[in-house]
A and B are shown apart, each in its own frame.
Chain A
Amino acid sequence: MRRFLRPGHDPVRERLKRDLFQFNKTVEHGFPHQPSALGYSPFLRLMAIGTRSGAIKLYGAPGVEFMGLHEENNTVMQIHFIPDQCQLVTLLDDNSLHLWSLKQHGGASELREEHRFTLKGPPGSPPSATQVTAVLPHSSREVLYLGTESGNIFVVELPSFRVLEDRTITPEAVLQRIPEDNCNRRSCELVEALREHPKNPDQILIGYSRALIVLWDLQNNKAIHHFLGSQQLENLYWQRDGSKFISCHYDGSYTQWLVSSDNRQSEPLENTVPYGPFPCKAISKIYWQTTKNGLPYIIFQGGMPRASYGDRHSISVIHGSQQTAFDFTSRVIDFFIIFSSDPAAEFDDPSALVVLAEEELVVIDLKSAGWPAVHPPYLASLHCSAITCSHHVSNIPLKLWERIISAGSKQNIHYSSMPWPIDGGTNIAPDPPQRDLLLTGHEDGTVRFWDASGVCLHLLYKLSTVRVFLTDADPNDNMNTLGEDEWPPLRKVGTFDPYSDDPRLGIQKIYLCKYSGYLAVAGTAGQVLVMELNDEDAEHVVDHAEADLLQDQEGYRWKGHEKLKTRDGPVRFEAGFQPFVLVQCQPPAVVTSLALHSEWKLVAFGTSHGFGLFDHQQKRLVFVKCTLHPSDQLALEGPLSRVKSLKKSLRQSFRRIRRSRVSSRKRRGAGGNASEVQEANAKFDQEALQEMELAPVQRKIEARSAEDSFTGFVRTLYFADTFLRDSSRHCPSLWAGTNGGTVYAFCLRVPPAERRMDEPVRAEQAKEIQLMHRAPVVGILVLDGRSTPLPEPLEVAHDLSKSPDMQGSHQLLVVSEEQFKVFTLPKVSSKLKLKLTALEGCRVRKVTVANFGSCKTDDYSENDLAVLTNLGDIQIISLPFLKLQIRYPCIRKEDVSGIASCVFTKYGQGFYLISPSEFERFSLSTKWLVEPRCIVDMPEVTSNNHVHKSGTENAARKS
């Protein structure tokens, strides 16, 4: 206790601590949770994504990333870059406008909020009068045009956000020049779209919701032309030369209009319902792109036949006779086209279609035949199937790295070879210090290998374990491709697929040996697969062994799920990690711990019933140990799966609720009742919250006992070469820790390499330690004679670590959720302990040994324990004396899934999920810091018509 009350004030140590430890959240990897808006600057070649929580993220060339957060945490509705500037404007759902700019500071660019502004109408006017629906940053860079629900278009000066009241375009002014017979005041309600004339900055196209479109002369403040559609307007787009424009409508049609000086009211040039004749959904946004060969690209969102395909999220591309409706698995938020931004160019010549869907970013190469997708270097959808576990491996040897990349490149042949088209800014961060891999296990039985070395979390390779098993949804009877009609020409794109064929396939534990290329993965139905990296495709039989963890315990019936059925005969595996043996635990409960020793060629696995050791060289089960308390019926019956399915169904219902809210919030313009719905929702939330507060929350205070449920649940497994029996001979050993605070140690006899195949591996139980506080054991570690943690298997053989000290006496560190304890070996006597829970009321959730180097001197580094508690704090605890060094708040304690997902690296970094699709990266080390550092320069402004424009603006102001 004294340790905590009065931390040792050794000034030397305190200084050293400052050189070693530092907490930073450095970058968010993955795909933003609940994106709500998209913007693109062809000038900067930067893309901006806004989210429902008020975050704004900018992306350019790989490594170029900026992030900002609106204080209000309101949904970002629209993002508009100011033309030819390092500035952008965001519109939030509270109707506030925010001006952000990229400024250089200390050699790198930073995103900062400069101004905020909320449009205010005259006193007494309804809120709709100033509710912004359309934003047009004028190419003069001096003003913003703000279309509102009332039909007024306000003009706001930049960057001061001063309203230029004399220049407001009122519906009355617009209607002055339009014959009364086809228009009235109501035609000018709600501005849907504002588009500047591509050639003449003095003209803007105003689209009102009720299909009245007006070409407005800013200089003379009058309507030049008006166009009247028959259907509710959704959006507008100019053709590049300004002679025509296109409008899209609520009924799924789009219309081309000719702008000529002679006629004042035009009839549509052409009106098309691309997916008619039956009623279609609205086309909400449309692009018209010209090409050299004369055939334009028409690209639009939506428009599907209501009855049969109304539920699809599609974007259609029409180019001559080619037509494809890209079909997304989640709602399309917005999209843009990358085309020639050179104003002197005659044609648009579109090169890529960039689509922000709710769960992923998809980029389509429009230049290559067949319009293939482009593999994004960032914004990966981590959650394309829900993440079930993760595993980090630091400092991957180059050889293995290249082999994984080569296996991955064979999987990516269907991607376009186009270089990443969004390439603004320059990455000036130093090269990552080493090659790091982050492996994520997913609900659908896949393991994804991510390059986690730098700022861009990039998918290298995807491994699927599904082929080993027979599942209901076999790839042979792919319903999707066969059942689909020819029309509309739908094509599935993207990787987000939240639906798992079989939850039993889910990956629960991963262990990769970076030296040997052996990989062990274990799943929900007690399956343990050992794999080897093969650079070629291969067809072989996966050997199969069963491990009966209940052994002699009889009369129990497993009520959980069945084991997965395996495929008979040889199975074809693509290049990469190929399974060669499957160990099936019985009962097929979820695998809760896994360890692989590639030097001894052994794999250990544990479930809630016990643990086993498998010799994957001889493909023989060495032993199993049942850890189950005979009275523990709950563990026997397999309620874990029940609990999980309950959790899942809860999650799903929440998702449903959330979705319905999203859609109700989506569009205000549709009617005034949306805000009422919102209000009602908020009220409902509040009531639900109050109800929860009223419910009596009480906690039972009871000592843990041997009869508690799940005491046999194996939490941790550990291989060590140490002194288990006597202090003269060391031997291989396997350690296991359970939920009930028991530690088992088995002495192993592994035959020497030359007789490895001839003699069996033997194991014998040598020790069993029962911690009296009976808290779950979450970590076991052996320290050598120099108090250094034992090296990983093969680490010494590869000259990457000093051999462990086998002269001095070894020590055993047992970490339970409540305490840290050091014991001597081989005779177990307690040496040191640190009681965490008794003193602070927090419990250990994750613990890892991390190596910390000093930022001052290269030659000093030390090993400490990095600990994450259930309160979301990170503590660093010294080895071997177990002194608390430093503590940082990291994750909110309510964020249970964030805490559960946390993974530490060996060099004091870590990752945790801040949403199903995003990892936050943090660093505890002063030495290893991976964070974006980039610079965005103003490109040369190529055209000089801005001077001329601002001149005309001034003239307009005078008039």
Chain B
Amino acid sequence: EFRRFSLERSKPGKFEEFYGLLQHVHKIPNVDVLVGYTDIHGDLLPINNDDNYHKAVSTANPLLRIFIQRKEDADYSAFGTDTMTRKKNVLSNVLRPDNHKKKPHIVISMPQDFRPVSSIIDVDILPETHRRVRLYKYGTDKPLGFYIRDGSSVRVTPHGLEKVPGIFISRLVPGGLAQSTGLLAVNDEVLEVNGIEVSGKSLDQVTDMMIANSRNLIITVRPANQRNNVVRNSRTSGSSGQSTESSLPSSTPNILGSLLQGEEESDEEDIIIEDSGEPQQIPKAAPTSESIESLSQIELLHESTQNGFLPSSEMNLNHSAGSISMEYEVPEPGHKPIEEDGTIITL
């Protein structure tokens, strides 16, 4: 069911009031629901307290799309970054949870209140002298903000210590992602970029690799400061790290590889503008037989974005075979607020 109604942007009020309002307009006063909204990046994010409620209202431009699910059959996995693009059929999941029974999710906590951020990953599979860092640029305006340089490091080899050329972090830009997350530091040695070893590659090659992966950059480093290493168990706590200096376990690239494979889906969806229309993300090619069908659907969808927010297009989405992408909601500047009878949120 769809409802449109208006709210005053300057005075959104409290979450409880809003929750009550939703229950009221949908005439479901005693049903527990999960409330979510799509943010400007197309992510489905939850609304469950005053703060994220206010955030949601402030991002409306001018429409705010809100999704309501019954709590008992909610699909928590639908929330989070890239949800609207990764899961092509996320809407149908949300709106028709029964379509999605085959994957029961273990709910550890309430809907993920936060999108993934830059982090240290793969702690369990890496030698503890190494650190694998994911710089998650998506959804922030911050620059990656670091520089790399040539240098040399000492390795333990079967023939004793050997000086080998290496790539190092040379500088962090204040306020950049690298500096603000604190995950990288000057003089950290870069060992891998998105699962590919950098040894034998020139500074320019590594630069190009990092830039090519900049939207989801995973760097494995040997931190210059080895004192903050994660200590996994008491057995190795005494070691100063030399034992693992030699090289990465051979299995890690594969593990990371599988990790990247999953990531592949989410990264860099190109955008197409057809006939000076709205920008859309380019979908993956559908199986050939369906291509014509999906074409017509896309065009319908396309129309709908120009005309506003019409239920008919939503219906189309619901019926689609999961082969089409989500629309990219970028209302044109100066787009007139839609005035229509019924339940419209005008902000």
Are A and B physically bound partners? Answer: yes
Tell me the A826-850 residues at the B interface (CB within 8 Å). 827-831, 835, 837-843
Residue on A nearest B209 in the bound complex, by CB:
A841
* B208 in the interface (beta carbon within 8 A): yes
* A12 in the interface (beta carbon within 8 A): no
* A395 in the interface (beta carbon within 8 A): no
Cross-chain contact of A701 among B144, B202, B286 (Cβ < 8 A): B144
Report whether B271 and A703 are in contact in the complex, using a CB–CB cutoff of 8 Å: no
Report whether A727 and B283 are in contact in the complex, using a CB–CB cutoff of 8 Å: no
Tell me the B195-225 residues at the A interface (CB within 8 Å). 195-196, 201-215, 217
Report whether B208 and A843 are in contact in the complex, using a CB–CB cutoff of 8 Å: yes
Tell me the B60-94 residues at the A interface (CB within 8 Å). none
Report whether B149 and A773 are in contact in the complex, using a CB–CB cutoff of 8 Å: no
Task: For A823, list chain B residues within 8 Å (CB).
Answer: 282, 285
* B309 in the interface (beta carbon within 8 A): no
Tell me the B248-290 residues at the A interface (CB within 8 Å). 257, 260, 267-276, 279, 282-286, 288
Report whether B212 and A697 are in contact in the complex, using a CB–CB cutoff of 8 Å: no
Cross-chain contact of A699 among B203, B214, B215 (Cβ < 8 A): B203
Least Cβ–Cβ distance between B54 and chain A, in angstroms = 29
Task: For B204, list chain A residues within 8 Å (CB).
Answer: 699, 841, 870
* A233 in the interface (beta carbon within 8 A): no
Cross-chain contact of A697 among B150, B206, B215, B269 (Cβ < 8 A): B150
Report whether A770 and B143 are in contact in the complex, using a CB–CB cutoff of 8 Å: no
A interface size (C-beta, 8 A): 44
Report whether B209 and A837 are in contact in the complex, using a CB–CB cutoff of 8 Å: yes
Cross-chain contact of B211 among A703, A767, A809, A839 (Cβ < 8 A): A703
* B148 in the interface (beta carbon within 8 A): yes
The distance in angstroms between the C-alpha atoms of A704 and B271, with both chains bound, is: 15
Task: For B211, list chain A residues within 8 Å (CB).
Answer: 701-704, 837
Least Cβ–Cβ distance between B70 and chain A, in angstroms = 34
Task: For B271, list chain A residues within 8 Å (CB).
Answer: 769-770, 772
Once A and B bind, how many residue pairs between them come within 8 Å at the CB atom?
138
Cross-chain contact of A766 among B274, B285, B286, B295 (Cβ < 8 A): B274
Report whether B149 and A696 are in contact in the complex, using a CB–CB cutoff of 8 Å: yes
* A763 in the interface (beta carbon within 8 A): no
Least Cβ–Cβ distance between A650 and chain B, in angstroms = 20
Report whether B214 and A702 are in contact in the complex, using a CB–CB cutoff of 8 Å: yes
The distance in angstroms between the C-alpha atoms of A277 and B308, with both chains bound, is: 97
Task: For A697, list chain B residues within 8 Å (CB).
Answer: 149-150, 203
Report whether B201 and A841 are in contact in the complex, using a CB–CB cutoff of 8 Å: yes
Residue on A nearest B298 in the bound complex, by CB:
A827
The distance in angstroms between the C-alpha atoms of A299 and B267, with both chains bound, is: 74
Tell me the A770-786 residues at the B interface (CB within 8 Å). 770-773, 775
* A334 in the interface (beta carbon within 8 A): no
Contact with B along A705-734 (1 / 0, CB 8 A): 000000000000000000000010000000
* B118 in the interface (beta carbon within 8 A): no
Known A-B contacts A698-B147, A702-B144, A770-B271; the reply to A830 vs B285 at CB < 8 A is yes
The distance in angstroms between the C-alpha atoms of A700 and B147, with both chains bound, is: 4
Task: For A255, list chain B residues within 8 Å (CB).
Answer: none
Please tell me the size bucket of the interface on B. Answer: 35 or more
The distance in angstroms between the C-alpha atoms of A703 and B210, with both chains bound, is: 9
Report whether B147 and A701 are in contact in the complex, using a CB–CB cutoff of 8 Å: yes
Report whether A701 and B146 are in contact in the complex, using a CB–CB cutoff of 8 Å: yes
The distance in angstroms between the C-alpha atoms of A827 and B296, with both chains bound, is: 10
Known A-B contacts A697-B149, A703-B144, A773-B212; the reply to A830 vs B196 at CB < 8 A is no
The distance in angstroms between the C-alpha atoms of A839 and B192, with both chains bound, is: 11
Report whether B215 and A703 are in contact in the complex, using a CB–CB cutoff of 8 Å: yes
* A765 in the interface (beta carbon within 8 A): yes
Interface centre among A827, A828, A843 (most CB of B within 10 A): A827
The distance in angstroms between the C-alpha atoms of A120 and B148, with both chains bound, is: 52
Known A-B contacts A697-B150, A765-B276; the reply to A703 vs B214 at CB < 8 A is yes
Contact with B along A79-95 (1 / 0, CB 8 A): 00000000000000000
Residue on B nearest A771 in the bound complex, by CB:
B270
Known A-B contacts A827-B291, A827-B298; the reply to A702 vs B205 at CB < 8 A is no
Known A-B contacts A769-B270, A769-B272; the reply to A701 vs B148 at CB < 8 A is yes
* A682 in the interface (beta carbon within 8 A): no
Task: For A696, list chain B residues within 8 Å (CB).
Answer: 149, 170
The distance in angstroms between the C-alpha atoms of A765 and B275, with both chains bound, is: 6
* A149 in the interface (beta carbon within 8 A): no
* B4 in the interface (beta carbon within 8 A): no
Task: For B149, list chain A residues within 8 Å (CB).
Answer: 696-699
* A1 in the interface (beta carbon within 8 A): yes
Cross-chain contact of B214 among A704, A767, A809, A841 (Cβ < 8 A): A704
* A192 in the interface (beta carbon within 8 A): no
Residue on B nearest A822 in the bound complex, by CB:
B285
Report whether B292 and A727 are in contact in the complex, using a CB–CB cutoff of 8 Å: yes
The distance in angstroms between the C-alpha atoms of A708 and B198, with both chains bound, is: 27
* A824 in the interface (beta carbon within 8 A): yes
Report whether B212 and A830 are in contact in the complex, using a CB–CB cutoff of 8 Å: no
Report whether A767 and B273 are in contact in the complex, using a CB–CB cutoff of 8 Å: yes
Task: For A809, list chain B residues within 8 Å (CB).
Answer: 288, 291
Known A-B contacts A703-B137, A842-B205; the reply to A829 vs B212 at CB < 8 A is no
Contact with B along A835-878 (1 / 0, CB 8 A): 10111111100000000000000000000000000110000000
* B194 in the interface (beta carbon within 8 A): yes
Residue on A nearest B196 in the bound complex, by CB:
A839
The distance in angstroms between the C-alpha atoms of A672 and B170, with both chains bound, is: 49
Task: For A829, list chain B residues within 8 Å (CB).
Answer: 282-286, 291
Task: For A839, list chain B residues within 8 Å (CB).
Answer: 196, 209
* B171 in the interface (beta carbon within 8 A): yes
Report whether B209 and A838 are in contact in the complex, using a CB–CB cutoff of 8 Å: yes
* B20 in the interface (beta carbon within 8 A): no
The distance in angstroms between the C-alpha atoms of A1 and B258, with both chains bound, is: 10
* B145 in the interface (beta carbon within 8 A): yes
Cross-chain contact of A835 among B144, B147, B206, B212 (Cβ < 8 A): B212
Tell me the A791-819 residues at the B interface (CB within 8 Å). 809, 818-819
The distance in angstroms between the C-alpha atoms of A831 and B282, with both chains bound, is: 10
Report whether B274 and A767 are in contact in the complex, using a CB–CB cutoff of 8 Å: yes
Report whether A698 and B171 are in contact in the complex, using a CB–CB cutoff of 8 Å: yes
Residue on B nearest A747 in the bound complex, by CB:
B275
* A768 in the interface (beta carbon within 8 A): yes
Least Cβ–Cβ distance between A635 and chain B, in angstroms = 20
Least Cβ–Cβ distance between B253 and chain A, in angstroms = 9
Task: For B272, list chain A residues within 8 Å (CB).
Answer: 767-770, 828
Contact with A along B286-312 (1 / 0, CB 8 A): 101001101100100000000000000
Task: For A830, list chain B residues within 8 Å (CB).
Answer: 270, 282-285
Least Cβ–Cβ distance between B89 and chain A, in angstroms = 16
Report whether A824 and B203 are in contact in the complex, using a CB–CB cutoff of 8 Å: no
Task: For A841, list chain B residues within 8 Å (CB).
Answer: 196, 201-202, 204-206, 208-209
Task: For A698, list chain B residues within 8 Å (CB).
Answer: 147-149, 170-171
Report whether A772 and B208 are in contact in the complex, using a CB–CB cutoff of 8 Å: no
The distance in angstroms between the C-alpha atoms of A298 and B270, with both chains bound, is: 75
Contact with B along A448-486 (1 / 0, CB 8 A): 000000000000000000000000000000000000000
Task: For A768, list chain B residues within 8 Å (CB).
Answer: 272-273, 276
Known A-B contacts A824-B285, A829-B284; the reply to A837 vs B270 at CB < 8 A is no
Report whether B147 and A699 are in contact in the complex, using a CB–CB cutoff of 8 Å: yes
The distance in angstroms between the C-alpha atoms of A857 and B217, with both chains bound, is: 47
The distance in angstroms between the C-alpha atoms of A775 and B211, with both chains bound, is: 10
The distance in angstroms between the C-alpha atoms of A112 and B261, with both chains bound, is: 54
17 residue pairs of the A-B complex, CB under 8 angstroms, read: A696-B149, A697-B149, A698-B148, A699-B147, A701-B146, A702-B143, A702-B145, A702-B214, A703-B214, A704-B211, A704-B214, A765-B276, A766-B275, A769-B272, A769-B282, A771-B270, A829-B286
Other than A702-B143, A824-B291, A828-B272, give 13 A-B pairs with Cβ distance below 8 A: A698-B148, A698-B149, A701-B210, A769-B272, A809-B291, A818-B208, A818-B212, A827-B291, A827-B295, A830-B270, A830-B283, A840-B205, A841-B196
Q: Which 5 residue pairs across A and B have the least CB separation, nearest first?
A: A841-B205, A703-B214, A772-B268, A837-B212, A699-B207
Give residues in A with beta carbon < 8 Å to B. 1-2, 696-704, 727, 765-773, 775, 809, 818-819, 821, 823-824, 827-831, 835, 837-843, 870-871, 893
